[in-house]
Structure 1
Amino acid sequence: MAKNSYFQFKQFTIHQDKCAMKVCTDACVLGASSELGNSKRILDIGAGTGLLSLMTAQRYPFAHIHAVELDSDAYLQAVDNVAASPFSGQISLFNTAIQEFVPAYQYDSIISNPPFFQSDLLSPDTQKNQAHHSTSLTFNDLLAAIDRLLTDQGQFHILLPKDESELFYQKAKTLGWFMTNNLTLQHNKDKKPFRRIMTFGRSYLSENEIDNTVLNIYGENNKVYDPEFVSLMKDFYMIF
């Protein structure tokens, strides 16, 4: 997906010139695919441009969403994107670290596209490091925040690179979380998976009860979009 200064969706626009994390296909899949049921209170950890919050607001018009973003430039960009959208009444934004965020209540669902590189070389760009690397939010910190902020019956949805996702899964499992859904994202059926969207809750599920799904972005030869991808994104992408 091109890194333009803005990305036009059917019902809102994401300006991204001040934010290190640009609109990307995998984040859009997270926003379109996460099943939040009857959640009335939803938390977006690491809001970036506000993309996930806006997609969630479009899909769940009766939910109220709190979006937490540490980086001041990204936060201000998200504020502008939300204010210019039809969903501004549903979304409240907070410029703080999730470790220091103390709301008045817990959340029915949490979504997150967190900084994920646990061991890759850092960039000279501090803003990019904060957005892409876990220098400001480790997996342990994230899981502790989720445990504190999610209701006992709630679920959280997280997007990670394939390799990093296994590390996160093992940490979550050790802390008593159970995976309920596992969506693997790949460019096409002949390519290796590159992203994974996992859903966790506190209720036990055996391995054979987990809903495992593979989503291809493209069909054969990368010339057309896969029909399942089109079906998932048709309410958001202008090209469908």
Structure 2
Amino acid sequence: MKPFKFKQFEIQQSTDVFRVGTDGVLLGALVNVDSAENVLEIGTGTGLISLMLAQRNLNANFLGIDINEEAVNLTELNFQNSPFHLRLKNILHDFKKNEIDEKYDLIVSNPPYFEENSSGKDILARQTVELNFQQLISKSSKLLSEKGILSVIIPFEAGVYFIGIAEENQLFLNRKINVYGIENSKIKRLVLEFSQIEKGLEESDFIIEKSPRKYSDQYLELTKEFHVFKE
């Protein structure tokens, strides 16, 4: 597959690993990473999100984990070929196992969200076969630093369920971004940020396209430091 070129780094891709997509780009561009010193990404895939966050925060260190060996190898290649490679580490790891002791200022994930089904496409990345919302949230809650943030992008339909599980684990919703695929359509995705600190909810809307195949000014502004847009 052709590599996906960004302004400061390049993503090598594979048919065996979930490719660069809008969800990952949005999460990488929208996450509150400014004050983080150490970041954990759960399910790195190609390494896209960690690379975007490393570009946005030049002081943070990153650990990426994935249960898919092919993804780990691909992420390692993309990390090593980037200008941020000294701050990026990636390992083969099952997040459900209790082998991570460090606390993180930011835990970020574009998690699997489809129930197990007959589709054979990107099973580990798309279906909750190896990691479900309950496992993701309960383990993350134990790995967050005192002021740490858990940030995810999920389908709008899963929002109430995800937020409910977070509350059961004493994680409070601090930020919610309603993502519309196209202007005047229904909400497609939610970018959610949780912490152990209960405070007022910051909520906003984000539109990807103002018309079919035409990015909104909001999207162009958000991603201008990453995407190489054709004139």
TM-score (norm 2): 0.94
The partner residue of 1:211 within 185, 202, 209 is 202
> Which sits farther off after the overlay, 77-86 or 102-111?
102-111
Q: Is structure 2 residue 65 aligned with structure 1 residue 71? A: no
**Structure 1 residue ranges without an equivalent (≥5):** none
Identify which of 219, 224, 227 aligns with 1:229.
219
Task: Please name the residue that 1:114 is paired with.
Answer: 111
Tell me the percent identity: 26
Check whether the contact 1:19–1:48 (CA below 8 A) recurs between aligned residues: no
> TM-score, normalised on structure 1?
0.90
1:16 partner amino acid: Q
Aligned to 1:92, which of 86, 89, 92?
A: 89
Query: How do residues 133-152 of structure 1 correspond to structure 2 at under 5 angstroms?
Result: 133-152=127-146
Name the CA distance, whole Å, in 2 between partners of 1:141 and 1:17: 27
Say whether the 8 Å CA contact 1:122–1:129 is kept in structure 2: no
Correspondence list, 1:37-52, <5 A: 37-52=34-49
* Alignment partners' CA distance in 1, 2:16 and 2:208: 25
Aligned counterpart, 1:124: 120
Match of 1:54 among 51, 56, 62: 51
Q: Does 1:186 align with 2:189?
A: no
- The alpha carbon displacement at 1:222 in A equals 2.8
Report the AA paired with residue 164 of structure 1: A
Residue 167 of structure 1 corresponds to which residue in structure 2? 161
Matched residue, 1:239: 229
Task: Rate the CA distance shift 1:31–1:85 in 2: closer, same or farther, 3 A.
Answer: same
Which residue number in structure 2 is paired with residue 14 of structure 1? Answer: 11
| Residue-by-residue CA offset, 1:154-212 (whole Å, 9 max, x unaligned) | 1110111111222111111222211011011112222111111100011113xxx2111
Task: Give 1:229 shift.
Answer: 1.0
CA distance in 1, matches of 2:176, 2:137: 18
Deviations 1:62-117 (A, max 9, x none): 10000011100011000111111111111010101112263452111111111111
Structure 2: which 5+ residue stretches go unaligned?
Answer: none
Aligned pair count reads 230
Among 195, 201, 205, the residue aligned to 2:195:
201
CA deviation digits over 1:33-68, x for unaligned, max 9?
111232111111111100011001100111000001
Q: Which runs of 4+ in 1 moved over 6 A?
A: none
Instruction: Give 1 or 2: higher helix fraction.
Output: 1
How far did 1:5 drift?
3.3
1 CA distance for matches of 2:209 and 2:220? Answer: 9
Give the AA of the match of 1:225: Y
Q: Distance in 1 between matches of 2:212 and 2:160?
A: 27
Contact 1:19-1:49 at 8 Å conserved across structures: no
Measured against aligned partners, the alpha-carbon deviations of 1:196-233 in whole angstroms (never above 9, x if no partner) come to 1100011113xxx21111111122x3353211111100
Q: Secondary structure at the match of 1:166?
A: helix
Q: Structure 1: how far apart are the matches of 2:98 and 2:76?
A: 18
